[in-house]
Amino acid sequence: MVERYALEPLKSLWTLRAQYERWLEVELAVVEAYEEVGVAPKGTAQKIKQHAQIDVDDILDIEKVVDHDVIAFIKSVTKNIGDEARYFHYGLTSSDIVDTANSLALIRATDTILESMTKLSNALYSKALQYKDLPTIGRTHGVHAEPTSFGLKFLSWYAELLRDIDRLKYVREEIAVGKLSGAVGNYANIEPEIEEIALKKLGLKPTPVATQVVSRDYIAQLLSLFAIIAGLIERIAVEIRHLQKTETLEAMEPFREGQRGSSAMPHKKNPILCERLTGMSRLMRSYAQVAFENMALWHERDISHSSAERYILPDSTMTIYYMIEKARFLIENLNIFEENVKKNIEITKGLVYSQRILLALVEAGMSREEAYTLVQKYALECWESGESFKEKLHADKKILGTLGEEKLAELFKPDYYLRNIEKIYEKFE
């Protein structure tokens, strides 16, 4: 965990104390299940709950001797429980507790992440509506293409985020599984009924088949989706970084009073948040890769996944949560320079209207090949000379005679390219 990027409530979710509390939560659910079937006397779980104490330092001291975190946890927590300790961890193996508790942590983290994603989606849709009617230049390969709606940038991100929200809701249900089936998952020393009762109390389902652990495809699926969500945030960040270039300056990250962009150059306003989010997206993809590697364990289980998950589970959930929260801040406070947006459409002096000229000539009866060759000839000349494309076409008697002066002038208006934008927005009403 990097403190700089750790936000509540996920920061607290992954503390050692919180981990031990989840382990105790699972152990107590099992004891309650034993009570229900008559194995443990009524009130056993309540007495354990009253006397069990989580002393992090004591657990860590015991672990130094036993070199096993779950054994250290059991020895410490049951010190003052008394005879009821007989039913603590009864018939279980360490992974029953660890894997089930990790599922609890992941679904709780996911619920927080989903809530944050919903807030980000609201911010994106608000901006999409605000800038729906603002013409901007569309760029392909980084080169001016044709005018479009500035609001469509936000609407595209919004649409993708809605898909990610739906995906995460589905995966959230997929990962809400646990296992309480013993050392190799065959219920030799614990009954399936106990697993079902205990997991239901925890809001989980039994995984259909387990070894000593829950199969790691669940975690790989979740972290893959986190990487996809991070990819969207990176897409947003990269676009804003491009729009903040001095030569473009259509949008800019918020810059707080007192903030400084460079230790050497006082004039600098850098897209540091967008660049940070871009870097974090690389991390999210690496976490997913580790999750894939963790899927193939030896036989019924080894612990090669364990050390890796101590990193990737807290770090992936905290990092994607940080990214979503900061992306929302970025969108809500983004500076949009509308005059620059409009001005940049005309940088090429009309070249971006070439397709409309082409189609108008075709509609007027010229063959497509002839029209394309003619329009491209003047377009390429204007690229080299910097002359006005409109004036070039106006000087060609064939083009002027085919289209007429009034029609030719009409073809150089950006509003035409927004005429069907409303139909796109209607899909989200």
- Averaged over 392-409, what is the pLDDT? 91
Record the pTM: 0.94
- Averaged over 258-278, what is the pLDDT? 85
Element (H, E) at 144: strand 143-149
CA distances to 43, 210, 266 from 93, rounded to whole Å, are 24, 12, 60
Rounded Cα distance between 277 and 234, Å, is: 6
Confidence of residue 395 (pLDDT cuts 50, 70, 90): very high
- From the CB of residue 273, how many other CB atoms can be counted at a distance below 10 Å? 18
Confidence of residue 268 (pLDDT cuts 50, 70, 90): confident
Rounded Cα distance between 278 and 284, Å, is: 10
The catalytic residues are: 141, 262
Would you state the structure tokens that stand for residue 221, as one six-digit string?
A: 């699926």
CATH numbers and ranges of domains, the chain? 1-90 (1.10.275.10), 94-342 (1.20.200.10), 351-411 (1.10.40.30)
Confidence of residue 209 (pLDDT cuts 50, 70, 90): very high
- Averaged over 96-121, what is the pLDDT? 98
Is the peptide bond prior to 314 cis by the omega test (within 30 degrees of 0)? no
Rounded Cα distance between 56 and 203, Å, is: 26
DSSP-assigned states of every residue in 312-376: HHHHHHHHHHHHHHHHHHHHHT-EE-HHHHHHHTTTTTTGGGHHHHHHHHHHTT--HHHHHHHHH
Confidence of residue 324 (pLDDT cuts 50, 70, 90): very high
List, as own/partner pairs, every contact residues 190-199 make where C-beta atoms lie below 8 angstroms and the sequence separation is at least 24, other chains included: 190/90, 190/91, 190/92, 191/37, 193/33, 193/37, 194/30, 194/33, 194/34, 194/37, 194/91, 195/33, 197/32, 197/33, 197/36, 197/37, 198/26, 198/29, 198/30, 198/32, 198/33, 199/29, 199/100
Rounded Cα distance between 243 and 300, Å, is: 52
Contact yes or no for 68/15 (Cβ under 8 A): no
- pLDDT tens for each residue of 15-62: 999 999 999 999 999 999 999 999 999 999 999 999 999 999 999 999
- pLDDT tens for each residue of 75-94: 999 999 999 999 999 999 99
Contact yes or no for 197/33 (Cβ under 8 A): yes
